[in-house]
Amino acid sequence: MLLGPSRRVRRVDAATVDRAARRLAAEGVAHLVTPALHLADARPFLAAGFAPREELHLLRRSLRIETPEPDHPTRPGRRWHRELALGIDATAFDGFWRFDRTNLDEACRATPHHRFRLIGSDGPVGYAVTGRAGNRGYLQRLAVDPVAQGNGFGRALVADALTWLRRRGADEVMVNTQERNTRALGLYRSMGFVDEPHGLLVLERRLA
């Protein structure tokens, strides 16, 4: 089960996290995982017995520099395309990182505005969700079916996201990815993203 700080509370303390974990354990939950947290937000979870599960690289790109044009067309993803996107997601990500319907809906709802795009010449083989809150953009999700990888679809989805964000007045965009995801890191860095000094942590605590 996912347990994270509430958006309504500025900071939680370790005792509050521990109480929530114990309550969930009493309800039969065996394993807790946090969303990706900055170190400051991770501290109370670490103090409450959570341990690092994954370290994520955080990258930032200015939208004031030139944005490449997508060299494959993308098309709008509609609500009814979300199941199809989840099918692509399941081929692109392994178990822990794979999105279910709730994760995808949350990624779309995480910011006041979002863009959901599909790509592929004979039917969709990739998709991206990009969010925008004020002048900041977020690459929320990007996946290309392994059978179609290496053809420029990932690059075109990112270029589409950057173009959309720029048109809507965003001036920077953030993305995070697993430390060992050389492919995604290579893609982002080659498109002008720069590593942030500190990454994000996904934590877990086993209750049973």
Region binding ligand COA by CB under 6 A among candidate stretches 12-20, 23-31, 79-87, 153-161: 153-161
Region binding ligand COA by CB under 6 A among candidate stretches 40-48, 57-65, 183-191, 192-200: 183-191
DSSP state of 148: G
Give the three-class secondary structure for 96: helix
Taking only Cα atoms into account, the Rg of the chain, rounded to an integer number of angstroms, comes to 18
Rounded least distance, CB 156 to ligand COA, Å:
7
State the chain's maximal CA–CA distance in angstroms: 54
Give 186's contacts (C-beta < 8 A, 6+ positions apart): none
Q: In angstroms, rounded to a whole number, what is the distance separating the alpha carbons of residues 195 and 188?
A: 10
Identified binder of ligand COA from the candidate list 62, 121, 135, 182, rule CB under 6 A:
182
Rounded least distance, CB 107 to ligand COA, Å:
11
Joined tokens for residue 134:
């004020």
Q: In angstroms, rounded to a whole number, what is the distance separating the alpha carbons of residues 133 and 7?
A: 14
Rounded least distance, CB 72 to ligand COA, Å:
9
Count of residues binding ligand COA (CB under 6 A)?
20
Give 180's contacts (C-beta < 8 A, 6+ positions apart): none
Region binding ligand COA by CB under 6 A among candidate stretches 62-70, 130-138, 179-187, 197-205: 179-187
Region binding ligand COA by CB under 6 A among candidate stretches 18-26, 32-40, 61-69, 175-183: 175-183
Identified binder of ligand COA from the candidate list 50, 99, 138, 153, rule CB under 6 A:
153
C-alpha count within 13 angstroms, C-beta hemisphere, residue 55: 7
DSSP state of 123: S
Give 89's contacts (C-beta < 8 A, 6+ positions apart): 98, 99, 104, 127, 141, 143
Identified binder of ligand COA from the candidate list 103, 111, 151, 163, rule CB under 6 A:
151
Asked if residue 186 binds ligand COA (CB under 6 A), the reply is yes
What is the contact mask toward ligand COA in residues 82 to 121, using x (rule: CB under 6 A)? Answer: ----------xx----------------------------
Asked if residue 74 binds ligand COA (CB under 6 A), the reply is no
* Residues near ligand COA, by CB under 6 A: 92-93, 142-144, 149-155, 177, 181-184, 186-187, 190
